Structure 1
Amino acid sequence: MIGRRRRDSGQAFPIYVVMVAGLLFLAVAFFAVGKAAALRNGAQGAADAAALAAAEKAREEFEAPFLASLPEDMLDLFLRAHAVPGCSAAQGFASANQADVNYCLPIPGGYRDRIKVEVQGRKPVDSSVIPGTEKKVAKAHATAIVEFQCPGWRSVDLNHDSIRDVYFFTCPGGMVEIRPSSPPDWSRVSKLLFDVHLIDD
């Protein structure tokens, strides 16, 4: 009987070793998957931040051409055909989130411009149980919108010299009055004139 018990115990030991090794492998694999998901989420956060930063920078840089278009009543032309700056701001926000910008693409759209950004994280998955992950990094993209939201406006020529002296904009956030000769603080009025937000794309 004693010999039989020893044989049974000897046969069970390799099975136990295999089971423990399998559980350890699964634990490491689950850890790698979790790490990959965390890196993917981090890259998405970096892409969102970079796209929003580029859109907000574009809104900021609209100040000079926007105001220059008012006196000669050329605002509609500016809104329909203008450059979309802002991508210079994307890398800084991507870097703050441990990522780099692969591309930043401004897409003019008249009253509704888009800025598409793709980033890649700096940290690889680097799992010993998943081949090819030594240099595998997470990538993500995001699209931000810069949208003119005050399509109904009127202008007044106070001096009757064919120069528009005052513009009134009816916006969702309230009325905006702009005198090109003494424009208001752009950082304040631009948020009423142009909405910036992310979209699913």
Structure 2
Amino acid sequence: MGHTMRTTIIRAVAALSLAAAALTAPTAASAYTDPAVIAVTPSVATPGGVATFTTDRAPYLGDEEIVISVTGGAAKGITLASVATETNDSLRSQAVNGALATPVRFPTDARGVYYFTFTGVRSGVVLHSSVTVTPAGSSSAPAKGGLAVTGFDGGSTAGLWIAGGTLVVGGGALAVGSLVRRRRNQGS
């Protein structure tokens, strides 16, 4: 095997090792925590029903305006419980002494999980929550405050960590073996 071929293989293995290390590194999103916890009452909403979002502390500035963004099926039909709106982009609420206390009414055809983002207009504070809407009498998972649960959990990524570690160790072993062989060849 020629010198150029060995160098190409070593570079390819090193690139794969770096890629594996980058893929297995923790992401910034998993390190983020909301500045307050949002509670949703009731924890499972019903179509046409009202769920109230409240915070455990006051992350917003005084009586700051809060912009609300909602993602989910029929999200454009969601209104604040006291004010009807036409689109989900126009939902606004008001913090009370810096705390969130926002009742939201779901449309009668609401179904599934709805993801909420509450953003303070002046402070820039962003809070996340989700709620599951199911017909009355159905059982479902309760709503969650904080970041939406997405992607993989730590238990389901164990295989990726092992594979990534194996690639990193294998790449390092090939690089060391190549250096030893190169020094041996130069010494003869």
Same fold, judged at TM 0.5 (above):
no
TM-score scaled by length of structure 2: 0.29
Q: RCO higher in 1 or 2 (8 Å CA, sep ≥ 6)? A: 2
**Structure with a larger share of its residues in helix:** 1
> Which one has the largest radius of gyration?
1
